[in-house]
Structure 1
Amino acid sequence: MLVRRWLDAAGISDPVLRHCYTTCVREAADRDGGHLRWWGLRAVPAPVRPHVGALAAMAFTADDYSDTGPVAQRRCRFDAYTDAVLSAIAAGHATDPVLHATAHTVRTLGLPVSLCEEAFAAMREDIDFSGFTTYEELQRWSAKSTGSPMVVMASLMTDPDTARRMEPALREFGELFQFMDVLCDLGEDLRDGRLYLPLEDLNRFGVRAEDLRAGRWTAAAAELIAFETARITHRLPILSTELQRRTGVSFIGVLEKHCHLLLGEVLAAGPALLDRSPRPRFADVLDIWLPHWRNTIPGDHQEGLS
């Protein structure tokens, strides 16, 4: 991934901004197991990549503040950081490289600041997380947590006006993607003392939260997971087709295929789902992503970070 080429493609010539964006990409590229490097950066056109790197580096930092340390300290550090992000956006600049690049991205692309504020609100709720009683509560949180970033991504790959017109569908698509993540990370979240599945659904299938926390898999748990998976697989193809038709963004179809692959692994995991997150075969992942990477920028697979 030659960052210099991306910056040239994006028309970013100012030396300070080029340094800031390069810092962002390097900080973000290997986070989350390298997912941004492979799935996020390679999946979008070169002019968009510096902006994806800036927003991702900022979001990763905010997430770190919301996820680590004693709860009271998390809240203080998170609020201080997100206030700094919003101040940088309002001023149009900052001394911190990540915040300076973020401010430039938001202003250059005309992104609504409210999308950042909503994503921050979801992270803040997660600090004091105590569970969801209903599926509607999970939907509202997911719409802010992943729905808002999905609108941002569509704004980067089309334009803010198109993203605004398609915002309800984009939010629902992100919402379902977040729910898929909840199912994949069920065991990890349980070890962290968090259960994101709605309590009304547990009660509906006669699943006890204490059994899940103790790693006890039951036939009722299998039925619950199948029910939650069907919620996603029923709606996702409809949204994907509509969004691709209305926005022309093929990346959405790739995300849909990736989601179906992971959900298949969730269903096949059985009791192991309470122990570890399912991991599909890398060859199966490549079958989904490689054609899109090759179509995004020819010769992209030969690039390296620089």
Structure 2
Amino acid sequence: MPLAAPDLDAAYESCRQETATWAKTFYLGTLLLPYEKRRAIWAIYVWCRRTDELMDSAEAQARPVSELADRLDRWEENTRGIFSGQVTSDLDAVMVDTLERFPQSIQPYLDMIEGQRMDLTWTRYATFDDLRLYCYRVAGTVGLMTQGVMGLDAAYTTAPWSDVPNTSDAAVALGIANQLTNILRDVGEDRGRGRIYLPQEDLTRFGYSEEDLLAGRLNDAWRELMAFQLERARAWFARSEAGIRWLSADARWPVWTSLRLYRGILDVIEQLDYDVFQNRAYVGRLGKMLELPRSFVIAQTR
């Protein structure tokens, strides 16, 4: 049975608080959305965070692989239940409510769980193609989950002479760009968990060894390697920009804000001279406040 309305409101509020705590830059962008859309995005974010925690929480990292695999199986079963309207928790309730308001496919959710399964056995990525698949599964899927919430500009859906655009490529590209940014920001943290997400082919290309990375060596090879990775991430951000103009008017400003703030992390990495071993790159509060009016102008003109 669905939760009563007051409980449902409380469950959404819990999602809001969790999003505000763990995804500050993302949360700022959601506040620019209309009420129903922002609540749906908070619910989806928390579902994604719960999925990620099955593998990446401190508690999970101490568990054997077989137990983590079982957790993912149970989570997949629970997710299939949500899509059939089954409610066993507050998060289930807000997800069922979100899916009723903004219908969508289950496939991106199943793909994200597959991304977590990759983390069971993959600690290295030989090529960028391998990494791109991982980035799609754990982050590109978020774009597919949220595009239906964002909605399309009425000009594309009501005018008989207009073709309804497919925003999926741009949505996936933004997710991949965000995940590549996460990887570059978190290199130091990930090595402590025995994970190297930078493609092995790129390490070889720039003459920077795995031993160098694990030791946190800052040298010219590292800077050239990181400069290459940053440009790749920026190219994915640029690819995502093409689809923002198709979004509904009330979604363009939030999406532009989130995109530009997250891309700003790449600029901070450069300002740190690529030292992500001793520093965590982030956009400060002033930078976030200054970005709001800039993104508003861009949302009106592009």
Alignment correspondent of 2:133:
140
Cα deviation, 1:219-254, whole Å, max 9, x if unaligned, reads 1000000011111223423531x1122224233322
Structure 1 residue 258 and structure 2 residue 247: aligned? Answer: no
Q: 1:157 to 1:51 in 2, by over 3 A?
A: same
Instruction: Tell me the CA shift for residue 63 of structure 1.
Output: 1.7
Structure 1 residue 269 and structure 2 residue 258: aligned? Answer: no
Equivalent pairs counted in the alignment come to: 279
Structure 1 residue 131 and structure 2 residue 111: aligned? Answer: no
Instruction: Tell me the CA shift for residue 21 of structure 1.
Output: 4.5
Q: 1:192 to 1:158 in 2, by over 3 A?
A: same
Aligned partners of 2:244 and 2:256 also within 8 Å: yes
The secondary structure found in structure 2 opposite 1:26 is helix
Alignment correspondent of 1:303:
none
- Runs of 5+ unmatched residues, structure 2: 158-163
- Kindly report the root-mean-square deviation, in angstroms, between the aligned alpha carbons of the 2 structures: 2.8
Q: Identity across aligned pairs (percent)?
A: 19
Where in structure 2 are the equivalents of 1:99-178 lying within 5 Å? 99-158=92-151, 165-178=166-179
Aligned-partner residue type, residue 82 of structure 2: A
Structure 1 residue 39 and structure 2 residue 28: aligned? Answer: yes
Q: 1:98 to 1:52 in 2, by over 3 A?
A: same
Cα deviation, 1:52-80, whole Å, max 9, x if unaligned, reads 22222222222222221313322212321
Q: 1:275 to 1:193 in 2, by over 3 A?
A: farther
Alignment correspondent of 1:48:
37
Aligned-partner residue type, residue 25 of structure 1: E
- Runs of 5+ unmatched residues, structure 1: 1-13, 297-306
Cα deviation, 1:65-123, whole Å, max 9, x if unaligned, reads 22213133222123212311211222x13131111221232233111111111111112
Between 28-37 and 252-261, the greater mean CA deviation after superposition? 28-37
Alignment correspondent of 2:46:
57
Q: 1:49 to 1:74 in 2, by over 3 A?
A: same
TM-score by length of 2: 0.82
Q: 1:238 to 1:79 in 2, by over 3 A?
A: closer
Q: 1:289 to 1:82 in 2, by over 3 A?
A: farther
Aligned-partner residue type, residue 121 of structure 1: E
Between 209-218 and 71-80, the greater mean CA deviation after superposition? 71-80
Alignment correspondent of 1:301:
none
Aligned-partner residue type, residue 214 of structure 1: A
**C-alpha separation in 2, matches of 1:38 and 1:133:** 34
Cα deviation, 1:136-164, whole Å, max 9, x if unaligned, reads 111111112111111222210105x9898
